[in-house]
Structure 1
């Protein structure tokens, strides 16, 4: 009898096991099509959300919802790598659209960024999934902001990959950057997606999600309400200064290119240019510099008090530098304007070129010369010393950085620390990248509380006030002559909270990430039956 009972018990257990296996198989079969659909929808939205010329701001709020759900429904060992694959596809699409896919160092950096961007999904799957409490919705945004901050701090590639830049047109939300930096905007977008995913997992049953939904709605209302009040109650003053950004017209550019090609050598290489016949080189470079000087005089006569040139469109041999600046100084004295000239200065020693900006004052003097601090990976030149120059003027304190420099928050903070009210940014972009820097300038101005005029040849030139309003824009590719004219508000310098406290919010998220890691380790110990340190002691 005992043997019969044992066999019966074993058979029952085997039957239950088979039943459990079948049930799990049926559940997996039901989930598999849903998982594929979730991954596909999340990936498409992710590609649309990546900050690019085609991005949709709304997609940035939505794509994490689908990928978080996908990661929860699939086994971690299978789902999380596929989420990382989706993120990699989005980065590859961005690199291809901007032409940077052909720069190996950039591809390597963005491969690291893909890994960093996967970590918030890992944290949600392995830590937040263990708890149904509303606090678990904070895991994803906290780890996301920590990753963005550490990548910016350590990768040496600026603050690319930050989700908050996709919201450059949502001004009530963008005002949060004056308190937390762009990282706070990223947090709000990611937390919204996390809350939506949390509610989805509970079937959107109001009784279960009410408390969490009300907390999220209250915080979002506070952020947007405060941003709206800031825009209305603390709007820029009506006192403005007329600023003009000038680029050489297409006819002058084509004339210069023909002259360079006619010289018979590869004069686009700095080494060849400085070794060629100086007379032929001067004749080839003259059409662009002459056009920029003429445009400066034209806009000054029309009423501009500050004129900004683009980055490196003008090219000058070192012996001819003083002559060019003397021509500009004559206009500055006559018209009583500030001219922020910018040019590639070709020198006889390696690396044969400097990327510089020189501010000429209404007294006809060169107030300072600035060398670009952060050359791009495509620019083989020696970086400048990293000191942002600031000069006093009747229109507030004027500062200058060059193009890519504006992607480094620590450098841009120097201008705020030195009381800059207007930041002038000579820039040079390219087709496929023409809008991105112009949009990023919106949040940078809000972060530090200064206006910005960014004159970008081969891109979109913009003038932005300290609250992120675009005062004027000019697209190089849609005009024969790119000229930006804007009335930029002049106001007493007011520091933002972010300019005072720095990356405190991001550091808090880094601390929160350490807590998430501790919770994850504790959860794994509990699942394995391993007592926590100190457990069982009297």
Structure 2
């Protein structure tokens, strides 16, 4: 009897030691995935890591961590990524924005906690497709949430790779995210299959069939090759049509001196041949059709340019955050109101909901404002009205400078239009319809700049304009399918036991 007690005690100690060792190793691997994803994005731009970043997390979730802790892998990895990605982006914002990475991590842990059991029940036959559909389906949901939008989408890591992102004009940003996630999960499945050949950390587990994993890897590899081939075929280099400028003042225009500086930079850009000059969001604290109207008309006439003027007016009902286009002849062509006000900053936009496009001697011009970039719908609505170039006045803050302008690249490719982003101080950029960054002034410190560059006008004929976020909707449907399948297989397992 004493020998049996000693043996049981030794077994219990061994189990506890293995439990804690596996837990620590698993959490380290999850943290590694978070680090790899962080490094794939600006300011590090190690974009190749986005294709393999999830592999350590998935090995930790499905093999290293004890079953009862498997959800911690996704919680630590996803929450850790957003903690590093957002960094101090919302340090001075409302409490729920400061705690957003933690909340995302908790949700990811709860979702991830069911995945291992599901795949063990289904022999890992759905591993690649379920994981990719779940991730992109959640991205689709996030794309509708005002406080987060498309921030942190996997595809954004590739913003400096125009040779690779052209099929976004057909499949949207969700299509590229899906390809990235399929690649991660296919590589992870092969890794799990090889792991199972060497180690069995649990007494009862479902091994991954190597032949099945290889088939998925070959299929995803073929899809990646086809994507690259299509991208190279779609990539074009049309001749420039128009010279444009983005004026970045690095100050808020609240005095006559500041206004004269803005005028001087506009004249300087016009002297370099710019025919379209974009000012930042809220550049003027007054309605240019009501105040300083004649001097603005004189400036447009003198320079022979179209002026895209951002302005903000506070009323008793809220903020009118608007932009207008002033033609060289002195005519105000129309007004656009910000479509996506920054709700967590208390911003409103009283005149939202219209998407005008102006026929000019330069081409068909349209406008959106700052946070509108972080959603796929606004630029698409303007593109459906036949726009060729979209001006984007913005008012960013230092912590988002390295990342925010990358969103312009994808809005340009999705809609096949040129875009000119003029920021207050941090991240102005000029982008061609194929997502090439023609010129930029991107620094986390306030700095004046005037960007002038030649760009080709867009065609606004991308299939994604009319198809919308169809891949995202398919992945959302796939996510719902797998949720139902998870519940059904769990029920059948309980009934059969």
Which residue does the alignment assign to 2:220? 216
Are the aligned partners of 1:172 and 1:225 in contact in 2 as well (CA < 8 Å)?
no
Which residue does the alignment assign to 1:64? 54
Residue pairs, 1:523-538, within 5 angstroms: 523-530=489-496
Which residue does the alignment assign to 1:356? 322
Which residue does the alignment assign to 1:314? 284
In the superposition, relative to structure 1, how do residues 139 and 480 fare at CA in structure 2: closer, same or farther (>3 Å)?
closer
Residue from 142, 148, 151 that aligns with 2:142: 151
1:358 counterpart SS class: strand
Which residue does the alignment assign to 1:268? none
In the superposition, relative to structure 1, how do residues 114 and 363 fare at CA in structure 2: closer, same or farther (>3 Å)?
farther
Are the aligned partners of 2:245 and 2:452 in contact in 1 as well (CA < 8 Å)?
yes
Asked if 1:80 corresponds to 2:71, the answer is yes
Instruction: Tell me how far apart the structure 1 counterparts of residues 404 and 448 of structure 2 sit (CA, whole Å).
Output: 20
TM-score when normalising by structure 2? 0.86
Residue pairs, 1:25-44, within 5 angstroms: 28=19, 31-32=22-23, 34-44=25-35
Are the aligned partners of 1:343 and 1:357 in contact in 2 as well (CA < 8 Å)?
yes
Structure 1's unaligned 5+ residue stretches are 1-10, 257-283, 532-538
Which residue does the alignment assign to 1:330? 298
Instruction: Tell me how far apart the structure 2 counterparts of residues 16 and 476 of structure 1 sit (CA, whole Å).
Output: 64
Are the aligned partners of 1:120 and 1:144 in contact in 2 as well (CA < 8 Å)?
no
| Greater fraction of residues in helix | 1
Query: Shift of residue 464 of structure 1?
Result: 0.8
Instruction: Tell me how far apart the structure 2 counterparts of residues 513 and 68 of structure 1 sit (CA, whole Å).
Output: 18
2:194 counterpart SS class: coil
Instruction: Tell me how far apart the structure 1 counterparts of residues 307 and 345 of structure 2 sit (CA, whole Å).
Output: 28
Query: Shift of residue 325 of structure 1?
Result: 3.2
Instruction: Tell me how far apart the structure 2 counterparts of residues 467 and 75 of structure 1 sit (CA, whole Å).
Output: 47
Query: Shift of residue 181 of structure 1?
Result: 1.2
Which residue does the alignment assign to 1:225? 229
In the superposition, relative to structure 1, how do residues 499 and 117 fare at CA in structure 2: closer, same or farther (>3 Å)?
farther
Instruction: Tell me how far apart the structure 1 counterparts of residues 444 and 78 of structure 2 sit (CA, whole Å).
Output: 31
Which residue does the alignment assign to 1:503? 469
Are the aligned partners of 1:109 and 1:155 in contact in 2 as well (CA < 8 Å)?
no
Moved more, 154-163 or 451-460: 154-163
Asked if 1:442 corresponds to 2:409, the answer is yes
Moved more, 478-487 or 387-396: 478-487
Query: Shift of residue 241 of structure 1?
Result: 0.2
Asked if 1:391 corresponds to 2:358, the answer is yes
Which residue does the alignment assign to 1:168? 159
Query: Shift of residue 470 of structure 1?
Result: 0.7
Moved more, 139-148 or 97-106: 97-106
Which residue does the alignment assign to 2:257? 287
Which residue does the alignment assign to 2:83? 92
Query: Shift of residue 505 of structure 1?
Result: 1.1
Instruction: Tell me how far apart the structure 1 counterparts of residues 104 and 461 of structure 2 sit (CA, whole Å).
Output: 32
Which residue does the alignment assign to 1:193? 184
Instruction: Tell me how far apart the structure 1 counterparts of residues 190 and 8 of structure 2 sit (CA, whole Å).
Output: 33
Are the aligned partners of 1:288 and 1:314 in contact in 2 as well (CA < 8 Å)?
no
Query: Shift of residue 397 of structure 1?
Result: 1.1
Asked if 1:241 corresponds to 2:242, the answer is yes
Instruction: Tell me how far apart the structure 2 counterparts of residues 511 and 480 of structure 1 sit (CA, whole Å).
Output: 46
Instruction: Tell me how far apart the structure 2 counterparts of residues 236 and 292 of structure 1 sit (CA, whole Å).
Output: 33
Instruction: Tell me how far apart the structure 2 counterparts of residues 396 and 76 of structure 1 sit (CA, whole Å).
Output: 60
CA-atom RMSD, angstroms?
Answer: 3.2
Instruction: Tell me how far apart the structure 2 counterparts of residues 517 and 69 of structure 1 sit (CA, whole Å).
Output: 22
Query: Shift of residue 53 of structure 1?
Result: 3.3
Query: Shift of residue 52 of structure 1?
Result: 4.8
Moved more, 141-150 or 495-504: 495-504
Residue pairs, 1:418-429, within 5 angstroms: 418-429=385-396
Residue from 348, 367, 370 that aligns with 1:400: 367
Instruction: Tell me how far apart the structure 1 counterparts of residues 123 and 69 of structure 2 sit (CA, whole Å).
Output: 22
Instruction: Tell me how far apart the structure 2 counterparts of residues 400 and 444 of structure 1 sit (CA, whole Å).
Output: 13
TM-score when normalising by structure 1? 0.80
In the superposition, relative to structure 1, how do residues 128 and 360 fare at CA in structure 2: closer, same or farther (>3 Å)?
same
Query: Shift of residue 155 of structure 1?
Result: 4.7
Are the aligned partners of 1:449 and 1:494 in contact in 2 as well (CA < 8 Å)?
yes
Instruction: Tell me how far apart the structure 1 counterparts of residues 338 and 231 of structure 2 sit (CA, whole Å).
Output: 34
1:153 counterpart SS class: coil
In the superposition, relative to structure 1, how do residues 394 and 54 fare at CA in structure 2: closer, same or farther (>3 Å)?
same
Instruction: Tell me how far apart the structure 2 counterparts of residues 527 and 360 of structure 1 sit (CA, whole Å).
Output: 68
Query: Shift of residue 328 of structure 1?
Result: 2.3
1:97 counterpart SS class: coil
